[in-house]
Amino acid sequence: MPIDLTTEYGTLHLRSPIIIGACPLTAQEMSRIALVSAGAGAIVLPSLFEEQIRTWNQKQGFRATLSTPNEPVPKQVKQLRNAVIHDADSYLDLVKHASAEVSIPVIASINGAPHGNWLDFTKRLESAGATAIEFNIRLAATRHCPDPSEVENSIVDAVQKISEIIAIPLFVKLGRQYTSLSHLAHRLLFKAQGLVLFGQAPEFDISLENFQVVSRWGFSEPGSIASSFESIMRVHAIAPEMPLAASGGIGSSSDLVKVLLAGADAAMVTSAVYRDGPDIIASWLDSLGIFLERHDMGSLKELRNRRPKLFSDEDIRAFYVKALSSQPDPYLIRSANRTLECDRWGHIKTSK
């Protein structure tokens, strides 16, 4: 029996649950072809940043003030065009080419603060052919301490605003810093088509050469998605209608199965593709199929029916009652030269 690995992510029908997360790989034609042939369900293009869009808006405004279209382009415009290698115009070209070229959904990504006219640019991305838009929300480091509800309101308003501008799906990539993620997810229902849990900001570092601050995207530790299972399960329990993509540290086919069991409809993967190449996608999809077959399931829909139920208050109480009264397998912690056998709390029982 063929195994059905298709999934729905919002209104997108994906041929497989693996989405390639926003990163420069998806901006390269050869990589895109390899990712598609490895079985990716969708790709997210690297982000276009708020600052790039604001620069583009300024340039448009500046052009509009030119008296005749034949007038030589002033130096300032030329400099703007040359200064930014990956500017908004070249991003629109990228969206256009990538969307025309691959058979799977191409999701454009914007990254910035949840307010301002720069969000209107989403209409351009839609017109350029993006299947959907992912909004990676960057919270500005402001001098004052905003009330968490102010922050939430700005996100909900921005998402509402974008959803009124575009007709294609909008996905919101959230960081981990929200006070009540489930509440926010609930408020975003029917405004966003789905959430990505969790986005990651570029890391700041200090150069020992010139003492300047530098920022770059770091790779995640394989398996570090485990720290997101609880949040994914909670959000899924509170807002089951909200489509979810898990992201951040999916490093094996077991991680892939677990995020789908936790409540995600798709698994977003970036670092693993950098580490192991696009073929890792095909290998995980094979393993996912084998896993389903071994457990007599023919589709991801059947896997969803096997999700553990957790995180209503009653479920949590029942979980602890059971955990405290049962004798779990000891777990082993391996350090440099010995193996520690611990109980569930990490108390060392034996050391070898």
Ligand X SMILES: Cc1cc2nc3c(=O)[nH]c(=O)nc-3n(C[C@H](O)[C@H](O)[C@H](O)COP(=O)(O)O)c2cc1C
The stretch among 22-30, 67-75, 88-96, 333-341 that binds ligand X (CB under 6 A) is 22-30
Give yes or no for residue 98 binding ligand X (CB under 6 A).
Answer: no
Closest to ligand X by CB, 105 vs 199, is 199
Q: Which of residues 228-247 bind ligand X (CB under 6 A)?
A: 247
Dihedral through CA 303, CA 309, CA 312, CA 315, nearest 10? Answer: -170
Q: Please answer whether residues 44 and 19 qualify as being in contact, where contact means their C-beta atoms are separated by less than 8 angstroms.
A: yes
Give yes or no for residue 248 binding ligand X (CB under 6 A).
Answer: yes
Give yes or no for residue 21 binding ligand X (CB under 6 A).
Answer: yes
**Token digits for 301?**
């829909």
Among 17, 114, 194, 199, the residue binding ligand X under the rule CB under 6 A is 199
Give yes or no for residue 250 binding ligand X (CB under 6 A).
Answer: yes
The stretch among 15-23, 122-130, 301-309, 330-338 that binds ligand X (CB under 6 A) is 15-23
Give yes or no for residue 200 binding ligand X (CB under 6 A).
Answer: yes
The span from the CA of 233 to the CA of 315, in Å, is 12
Q: Please answer whether residues 112 and 140 qualify as being in contact, where contact means their C-beta atoms are separated by less than 8 angstroms.
A: no
Site string for ligand X, 38-77 (x = CB under 6 A): --------xx------------------------------
Q: Please answer whether residues 36 and 285 qualify as being in contact, where contact means their C-beta atoms are separated by less than 8 angstroms.
A: no
CA distances from residue 62 to 8, 65, 66, 67 in whole angstroms, order as listed = 43, 5, 7, 11
Q: Minimum CB separation from ligand X for residue 212, in Å?
A: 20
Closest to ligand X by CB, 110 vs 166, is 110
Q: Minimum CB separation from ligand X for residue 251, in Å?
A: 7
Give yes or no for residue 190 binding ligand X (CB under 6 A).
Answer: no
Q: Minimum CB separation from ligand X for residue 351, in Å?
A: 33
Phi, psi torsion values for 260, nearest 5 degrees: -70, -35
Q: Minimum CB separation from ligand X for residue 268, in Å?
A: 6
Among 7, 52, 55, 111, the residue binding ligand X under the rule CB under 6 A is 111
Dihedral through CA 239, CA 109, CA 33, CA 94, nearest 10? Answer: 150
b/e code 170-208 from CB counts within 10 Å (16+ = b): bbbbbbeebeebbbbbebbeebbbbbbbbbbeeeeeeee
Q: Which of residues 122-151 bind ligand X (CB under 6 A)?
A: 136
Q: Minimum CB separation from ligand X for residue 197, in Å?
A: 10
Which residue in 287, 181, 250 sits closest to 19, CA to CA? Answer: 250
Q: Please answer whether residues 109 and 98 qualify as being in contact, where contact means their C-beta atoms are separated by less than 8 angstroms.
A: no
Q: Please answer whether residues 308 and 302 qualify as being in contact, where contact means their C-beta atoms are separated by less than 8 angstroms.
A: no
Closest to ligand X by CB, 24 vs 330, is 24
Query: Which residues contact ligand X by CB under 6 A?
Result: 21-24, 46-47, 109, 111, 136, 173, 199-200, 217, 219-220, 247-250, 269-272
